[in-house]
Amino acid sequence: DNKCLSRSLSSLNNPSANMPTINYELIGIVIHSGQANAGHYYSFIKDIRRRHSNNANQWYRFNDTSVEEIQLTEQMLEEECFGGTFRVQKDNNNSNEERTRFWNAYMLIYQCIEPSKLLPPPLAIPSSPNTNRSSRYVPGTAVRVNCTNQRDSLSQLADLVVRSENSDLFKIENPLIPSRVLACVKDENLEFLKNRDTYCDDYFQFIYKLSKICFDDINIPPDMEIVEKENEETSYELCTKLALNFLFNTHLR
């Protein structure tokens, strides 16, 4: 009984001895700027799709409709996530003024990393029946080197490319986010593009000037009058359609 009790106490004191090691990766940070009664939220999100690429540590700042790439360094983490104070230099003299940071990390998002998913599975290159391989020893080493004809290597690469295209190798079977959320994000992006590119002064001025060209009285050279009269009706019709389409489908919506 004493042995069982001591074994149980040992397990309680060191619970990690009987548990497998689990690794977690930081993939998101929610920052709160302000005070308890009012404030603003923005996020740092890691692009986990680039986990196996050369730029695996790519982060983005999502601040309402503004999205920008950032380098999440230790200095940036200290300035954005831990609150505290910072010093700024005054304009009048060389003294520094201490100010309080009213922003800090509000929520951290981690993702469990399974050991089997840390590295992508190797691609199996199909062997060609016409491949003639010969082996030889490299002098001074005990390593056997396979010599393959260059044409056979190119043939294997071509077969692999054809197989990947036919099997849709790069298709994502299971999307990272649900389809409902993906559709919502798509609608918000389209709305953002419409507000930025359509409901702007430059676009309004462009449509106005384009429509006004056909309705203004322009001094036409004598040799161009025949061509202008032939195309006058078509030009008026196109400009009328353009103006009405912009009025009812964009301006009044």
CA 198/CA 73 separation, integer angstroms: 37
Query: Same domain for 13 and 99?
Result: yes
Least trusted range by pLDDT, from 68-72, 105-109, 177-181: 177-181
Judge whether 125 lies within some domain: no
- How does residue 131 score in pLDDT terms, banded at 50, 70 and 90? very low
Query: Same domain for 6 and 107?
Result: yes
Judge whether 171 lies within some domain: no
Query: Same domain for 14 and 90?
Result: yes
Query: Same domain for 84 and 152?
Result: no
pLDDT in the model for residue 122: 53
Domain hosting residue 150, numbered range: 133-166
Query: Same domain for 18 and 84?
Result: yes
Query: Same domain for 197 and 144?
Result: no
Q: Which two tokens stand for residue 205?
A: 């001025």
Average of pLDDT values for 58-70? 91
Number of independent structural domains in the chain: 3
Q: What does residue 56 show for φ and ψ, rounded to 5 degrees?
A: -80, -10
